[in-house]
Structure 1
Amino acid sequence: MLDGGRGPGVAMAMRMVVALARVLGAQQLLPITNAHIDSCLYHGQAGLDFAQKLADLGATVSVPTTLNTSSLDLLHPGLVRLPPEDAVPARALMDAYRALGARATWTCAPYQSTERPAFGEDIAWAESNAIVFANSVLGARTERYGDFIDICAAITGRVPHAGLHLPERRNPTVELDCSALSLAMLGHEAVWAALGDVVGRQSGTGIPLLTGIDPSVVDEDKLKALGATAASSGGVALFHVAGVTPEARSAGNDPAWTGLPTVAITAEMLRGARDELSSGADFSLPLDAVALGTPHFSLREFEKLAVALEGTVPFHPGCTVWINTSREVLAQAQEAGFVQAAQDRGAKIVVDTCTYITPILRPEERTVMTPSGKWAWYAPMNIGVDVVFGTLHECLSSARTGKVVRDERQWS
Structure 2
Amino acid sequence: MYLTKDEEKILDGEAGWGKKKAMEILMAIGEIYNADKLIKIDNAHVSGASYKNLGDAGLEFLKDLSIDAKVVVDTTLNPIGLDRIQWQWMNIDPKFVEKQMEVLSAYKKMGISDVCTCTPYYLKDIKQGENLSWAESSAIVYANSVLKAKTNRESGISALASAIIGKTPNYGYLLSENRIPNISININDKIQDSDYGILGFLTGSLIKGKIPYFFLSSTPLDDELKHLGAGLASSGSVALFYYGYNRSSSREQNNILNGDIKSRRADQRYLDDLKFDEEIEITKKDIDEVYTEKKHKDADLVVIGCPHCSVSELKRINSLLKNKKVKKDFMICTSQYIKDRYVNLINEIENSGAKVICDTCPVVSPLRGYSCAMVNSGKAYNYMPTMNNIPTKIGTTEECINESLVV
TM-score, normalised via structure 1 length: 0.87
Q: Contact 2:290/2:394 (CA < 8 Å) preserved in 1? A: no
Q: 1:315 aligns with which of 311, 326, 335?
A: 326
1:48 and 2:43 correspond = no
Letter in 1 for 2:385: P
1:259 counterpart residue number: 275
Q: 1:68 aligns with which of 68, 74, 78?
A: 78
2:15 counterpart residue number: 6
1:373 and 2:378 correspond = yes
Structure 2 vs 1, CA of residues 124 and 249 (structure 1 numbering), >3 Å: closer, same or farther? Answer: closer
Q: Report the alpha carbon displacement of residue 31 of structure 1 after superposing the two structures with TM.
A: 0.9
1:270 and 2:280 correspond = no
Q: Report the alpha carbon displacement of residue 213 of structure 1 after superposing the two structures with TM.
A: 3.4
Q: Contact 1:126/1:146 (CA < 8 Å) preserved in 2? A: yes
Q: Report the alpha carbon displacement of residue 360 of structure 1 after superposing the two structures with TM.
A: 4.1
Letter in 2 for 1:67: L
Q: Contact 1:137/1:246 (CA < 8 Å) preserved in 2? A: no
Letter in 2 for 1:338: L
Letter in 2 for 1:96: A
Name the stretch that deviates more: 91-100 or 347-356. Answer: 347-356
1:39 and 2:48 correspond = yes
Structure 2 vs 1, CA of residues 354 and 384 (structure 1 numbering), >3 Å: closer, same or farther? Answer: same
Structure 2 vs 1, CA of residues 83 and 338 (structure 1 numbering), >3 Å: closer, same or farther? Answer: closer
1:297 counterpart residue number: 309
Residue-by-residue CA offset, 1:82-106 (whole Å, 9 max, x unaligned) = 4344332221110000000011110
Structure 2 vs 1, CA of residues 11 and 295 (structure 1 numbering), >3 Å: closer, same or farther? Answer: same
Residue-by-residue CA offset, 1:238-291 (whole Å, 9 max, x unaligned) = 001125794378763688961313222211221233345x4xx643x4x31210
2:347 counterpart residue number: 340
Equivalent-residue separation in structure 1 for 2:99 and 2:301 (angstroms): 29
Count of residues in Structure 1 that have an aligned counterpart in Structure 2:
381
- Kindly report which structure 2 residues correspond to 1:9-408, keeping only aligned pairs within 5 A, or say none: 9-42=18-51, 43-56=54-67, 58-113=68-123, 115-178=124-187, 180-182=188-190, 186-188=191-193, 190-214=194-218, 217-242=219-244, 246-247=256-257, 252=268, 258-260=274-276, 261-276=278-293, 278=294, 282-283=296-297, 285=298, 287-310=299-322, 312-316=323-327, 319-334=328-343, 337-360=344-367, 363=369, 365-402=370-407
Structure 2 vs 1, CA of residues 86 and 309 (structure 1 numbering), >3 Å: closer, same or farther? Answer: closer
**Partner SS state of residue 229, structure 1:** helix
Structure 2 vs 1, CA of residues 249 and 118 (structure 1 numbering), >3 Å: closer, same or farther? Answer: closer
Equivalent-residue separation in structure 2 for 1:85 and 1:269 (angstroms): 44
Letter in 1 for 2:208: G
TM-score, normalised via structure 2 length: 0.88
Equivalent-residue separation in structure 1 for 2:341 and 2:273 (angstroms): 40
Equivalent-residue separation in structure 2 for 1:39 and 1:356 (angstroms): 12
Equivalent-residue separation in structure 2 for 1:111 and 1:370 (angstroms): 23
Matched-pair identity in %: 30
Q: Contact 1:357/1:379 (CA < 8 Å) preserved in 2? A: no
Q: Report the alpha carbon displacement of residue 173 of structure 1 after superposing the two structures with TM.
A: 0.8
Letter in 2 for 1:167: S
Structure 1: tracts of 5 or more residues without a match: 403-412
Structure 2 vs 1, CA of residues 244 and 111 (structure 1 numbering), >3 Å: closer, same or farther? Answer: farther
1:409 counterpart residue number: none
Structure 2 vs 1, CA of residues 208 and 308 (structure 1 numbering), >3 Å: closer, same or farther? Answer: same
Letter in 1 for 2:115: T
Structure 2 vs 1, CA of residues 89 and 309 (structure 1 numbering), >3 Å: closer, same or farther? Answer: closer
Letter in 2 for 1:18: M
1:408 counterpart residue number: none
**Partner SS state of residue 39, structure 2:** strand
Letter in 1 for 2:274: T
Q: Contact 1:26/1:161 (CA < 8 Å) preserved in 2? A: yes
Letter in 2 for 1:111: Y
Structure 2: tracts of 5 or more residues without a match: 1-9, 245-252, 262-267
**Partner SS state of residue 30, structure 1:** strand
Equivalent-residue separation in structure 1 for 2:175 and 2:399 (angstroms): 42
Q: Contact 1:4/1:10 (CA < 8 Å) preserved in 2? A: yes
Q: Report the alpha carbon displacement of residue 339 of structure 1 after superposing the two structures with TM.
A: 2.1
Equivalent-residue separation in structure 2 for 1:236 and 1:151 (angstroms): 21
Q: Contact 2:182/2:275 (CA < 8 Å) preserved in 1? A: no
Equivalent-residue separation in structure 1 for 2:259 and 2:61 (angstroms): 42
Report the aligned-residue RMSD: 2.1
Q: Contact 1:10/1:156 (CA < 8 Å) preserved in 2? A: yes
Q: Contact 2:201/2:378 (CA < 8 Å) preserved in 1? A: yes
**Partner SS state of residue 36, structure 1:** strand
